[in-house]
Structure 1
Amino acid sequence: MTDTTRFQGYGVLVTGAGRGIGAAISRRLAEEGARVLVTDADPPEAEKTAADLRELGLTAEALGCDVGDQGAVERAVAHAVDTFGALDVLVNCAAHCTPDVPLFEDEPDDEWARDLDITLTGTFRCCRAALPHLAASGRGAIVSIGSVNGAQDFGNHAYSAAKAGLVSLTRTLAGHAARRGVRVNLVVPGTVRTSAWEGRDDDLDALSGLYPLGRVGEPEDIAAAVAFLASRDASWITGTTLTVDGGVTAVATGFPSGSFRAGGRGAVRQAPPVPGPNRPRTYASC
């Protein structure tokens, strides 16, 4: 049962929240009493998510924000503080995922850089801009969204490297932020049923067989984990990575060779893509 008061009075900023995991996180926190600023690189998608929340009687605002743009990040943080009076929680969900190329040596510099700039450096930008306000709130928390790609071999070189970087960023920032009263944690999802998988139920069914719990995740599974880590229920937890993956990384070190691999550009697709959206999208919402 959802606690409708756990985040009562909190000001929350969620990036990459136009759909998928980010939208589910926005809804969960708003249902628990938070006032949520929904941001996305696609402003109409951010507005749709916020409008859906308002129709439910929840408090939500929308703002376009490309986390690759420091100015846009600073404006989003300022908007949250001005609108809600404080910023208590930052959720970093914005990500970019480029498909693998058939040969690693063919990976273009610009695509590698784009994945890292949005997924890793974008998270850094948001944390840097938000930290003083989170410290001032007295109950500040940062929760970022990683991926099992950052821990094991599921393909997508640049995206995986960026997600792995979030593990280190979470740990190093946690130590610094703790001295300022801010907690920093990471949620690591496995395959989650989002719009990136639309029309591909057969692929998801096939992937489900690799998960010990017998299914892929739903956005709400990730939202529940984020809500816990952002709340006072986790007041003695910081620098932690919480894996929410149906047990797949407990029993596997990656998908078997030749199966469930991303085809990449120009390659023959042998099986459905790996966890995470395996197609270009400015904000994959992980």
Structure 2
Amino acid sequence: MRRFEGKVALVTAAGQGIGRAVVRRVAAEGGAVVVTDLREDTANAVAEEAGAEHALGMKVDVTSRADVDAAVAAAVGRFGRLDLLVNNAGGCIVTSAPEDTSAEDWHRQLDLTLVGAARCIQAALPHLVKTRGNVVTISSVNGLAAFGNVEYAAAKAGQIAMSTNYAARYGPLGVRFNVVAPGTVRTPNWDSQPGTLEQLASMYPLGRVGEPEDIAAAVAFLGSGDAAWITGHTLPVEGGVLTGPNPIDLSPA
């Protein structure tokens, strides 16, 4: 498929994991990509993987409006347009019990995960209106159900509410906003916890945790013309974990 032929995407936090898989998928389907990450070297490495002629790596901190504006300007300056914004930056940065979380830590979590996505949308919107483009935000099942990490969950739920409201507001201008809500995904963030992913796999009716490519496939669908009449929705990509905690055992006796 070449669903992104002639299109330009900007992907945040694309140096590894889900972001990197999204870049590779969009590039494989013919799109040009601006690869952003906190580390310039990893952003450039992923851009090289995607093809130097059709990808640009940049150091971008989504908590900085100047960085975000520079990334959008670079996308339009290099490739002439912007069709797709993928908000992937974020993370669980609060480790205290929620009753002990300081106001400062709440602000840090929300600024990275929720306000960071809002900054990117604000910067990209004028160009997305011109191309009748769209935004796909990577939220989490934590924003849909109680899996712990209260501050992170609140930020992820906020992304969903924000996207729904943007969809209603900018739908008349042809701009779509959708969300992908992953379950547990095998990313380098788990490398320091050997064996944890194997334990978590038992929670999932499909018997495994997700791979970054599972999420990239969903992003590619929602970000492409195949989803031209879909906006304001959240697509859980989560191996069935939201169906409940006790899947039926159908294994042979």
| Aligned residue-pair number | 246
CA contact (8 A) 1:88 1:137 kept: yes
- Picking from 71, 82, 87, the partner of 1:87 is 82
Moved more, 200-209 or 126-135: 200-209
Using the TM superposition, give the Cα deviation of residue 97 of structure 1 relative to its aligned residue in structure 2, in angstroms. 1.4
| 1:114-193 alignment, distance < 5 Å | 114-138=108-132, 140-193=133-186
C-alpha distance in 2, partners of 1:214/1:201?
Answer: 18
Give unmatched runs, 5+ long, in structure 2.
Answer: 247-253
Q: Give yes or no for the alignment of 1:25 onto 2:18.
A: no
1:209 match: secondary structure: helix
Q: CA deviation at 1:249?
A: 0.9
**Partner residue in 2 for 1:282:** none
Gaps of 5+ in 1: 254-286
| 1:22-67 superposed Cα distances (whole Å, 9 cap, x missing partner) | 010011000000000000122222112112222xx77211011111
Percent identity for Structure 1 against Structure 2: 49
Take 1:77 and 1:58, find their aligned partners in 2: how far apart are those partners?
A: 18
TM-score (norm 2): 0.94
2:104 pairs, out of 106, 110, 114, with 110
Distance in 2, matches of 1:212 and 1:221, equals 16
What is aligned with 2:251?
A: none
Tell me the residue number matched to 1:226. 219
Q: Which residue of 2 aligns with 1:68?
A: 63
Larger RCO: 1 or 2 (CA < 8 Å, sep 6+): 1
1:163, distance to aligned residue in structure 2 (A): 0.1
Post-superposition CA distance 1:150-208 (Å, at most 9, x none): 11121212111100001100100001111111110000000000001115452111110
- 3-state SS of the aligned residue for 2:239? coil
Match of 1:270 in 2: none
The answer (yes or no) to whether the contact 2:94–2:109 under 8 Å persists in 1 is: no
Residue in structure 1 matched with residue 235 of structure 2 by the alignment: 242
- The reply on whether 1:36 has 2:30 as its aligned counterpart is no
Q: Determine the C-alpha separation between the residues in 1 that align with 2:9 and 2:98.
A: 39
Aligned match of 1:276? none
Q: Judge conservation of contact 1:120–1:165 (CA < 8 Å) in 2.
A: yes
Stretch deviating more after TM superposition (91-100 or 158-167) = 91-100
Question: For residues 146 and 39 of structure 2, what CA distance do their matches in structure 1 show?
Answer: 30
Q: Is the 8 A contact 1:100 1:155 kept in 2?
A: no
Match of 1:15 in 2: 12
Structure 1 residue identity aligned to 2:151 = A
- Which letter maps to 2:128? L
Check conservation: 1:17, 1:26, Cα contact below 8 A. Answer: yes
Question: Which range moves more in the overlay, 73-82 or 195-204?
Answer: 195-204
